[in-house]
A and B are shown apart, each in its own frame.
Chain A
Amino acid sequence: MPLAIGAAIYGLAFGLLAAQARFSVIQVGVMGASVFAGGSQIVVAQQMVAGAGAVAAVAAGLALNLRLMLVTASIRDVYAGRPWWQVALGAHLTADENWALMLAQSARGRNVGYWYLLGGGACLVVVWCIATVAGVAFARAIPEPKSLGMDFAFTAAFIAIARSLWTGRRDLAPWLVAVAAVAASIHLAGFAPSWALMVGGVAGAATAGMLHHD
């Protein structure tokens, strides 16, 4: 339940952001059900608002979602020996929240598996769609987003997401390199922001790879 409430509030927040990217209510609803990865949806909406272009927006969103490959890989036994449609459905409905919940339950010795994961994912996707659609419908009623400071909502959202991704001091060097690479790309090389973003992400990840291969 707390996870569903969390997803609902996060969904409302995404709806507000999607409205700035001029997504329609139907588009937000379809996107919530079909993509079902909140962080990447926020990144894509921001890139569209910033005028980065469709290809750059998708590239940034997918780069963020590479993480999900590690998530599904870590529980691949759960899908083993199931018919293809159950594998496909289970994979699609695997998100950070129900994945973490399942691991926490099984760490406590409970016998949880595929259907526990699927049930959690199904709840999340329904809550996510309703909340994002409610958010975008509400936000479209706000006349002047910029004068209310709504344009800064993306930056604040990214700061909050960064905080949740911070795992400790080992992240410091990669993150500093990423920021420095972004600054250099924009101010020295004159790159467009969407390219500077990719340079920062790759430079930071490469730094982490070189420093922390344990």
Chain B
Amino acid sequence: MSSTIEPPRLGHKTWREKVGLAEMLKGGVIMDVVTPEQARIAEDAGAVAVMALERVPADIRRDGGVARMSDPEMILEIKSVVTIPVMAKCRIGHFAEAQILEAIEVDFIDESEVLTPADEENHVDKHVFTVPFVCGARNLGEALRRCGEGAAMIRTKGEAGTGDVVEAVRHMRTIMSQIRSVQNAREDELYVLAKEHQAPLDMIRTVHETGKLPVPNFSAGGIATPADAALMMQLGAETVFVGSGIFKSGDPARRAKAIVESVLFHKDPKRLAEISRNLGEPMVGINCSSLKPDEQMAGRGW
């Protein structure tokens, strides 16, 4: 018997199959990893997926210069050592990088503001791809524009590589309160809401009817402790991405496990207290309010 079986209709993906994988990742932690060893530590700690990249956002910030898609070789190395889904980042609008990531069969592509944007007007047309995409958003309009382009998962942008959760909180609160206002609007107000949010009308209708984004809503950008993860989950995140927060800390394996447990028990302060004990040094971090406008990544994306 061959090791894989040919499925039918290869290359054709329904919305349900793409969003379906995002559903499977709910209630978990997705961790940034730069080496196969880190990927193993993440999987052993209970990560639901890993984001394979050459530099974590904190290092991209420190190094400056142009940040691009990672070398496919290192992504393939990471894919070869774990059984959980592997994600990778392409630059905003860089559909050729996305095509390459699809060709090496990553499980999810993050069209990410952490990398230097390749197009200052257009994002990738994600409908034409077989692989699902996740995109960042700071508000409801941005989230729904990305869904309109075919994103199967949204994550709040936060401010990556800082270890400061303040922007992730701002973006999640903004999205959740805008969802509530769309949900409570009258039917005949949806047209003007679509205009105000600069979002497709059918997406605004979906939010009005369901009180949720059309796709799972995850959180990223500045989460560094179990308490940060619990905060984002209580504010409405369905899973958290932890980038620099784990492997820039003193004891990554331990912190990774603790953050996984904190998502599971995000409403149980007694267990969170237990989970948060003796984790060693967190990442040092950068206070977001000290960043100059051109040092902020969250502003990238249109």
The yes or no verdict on A and B being binding partners is: no
Interface residues of A (CB under 8 A from B): none
Interface residues of B, Cβ cutoff 8 Å to A: none
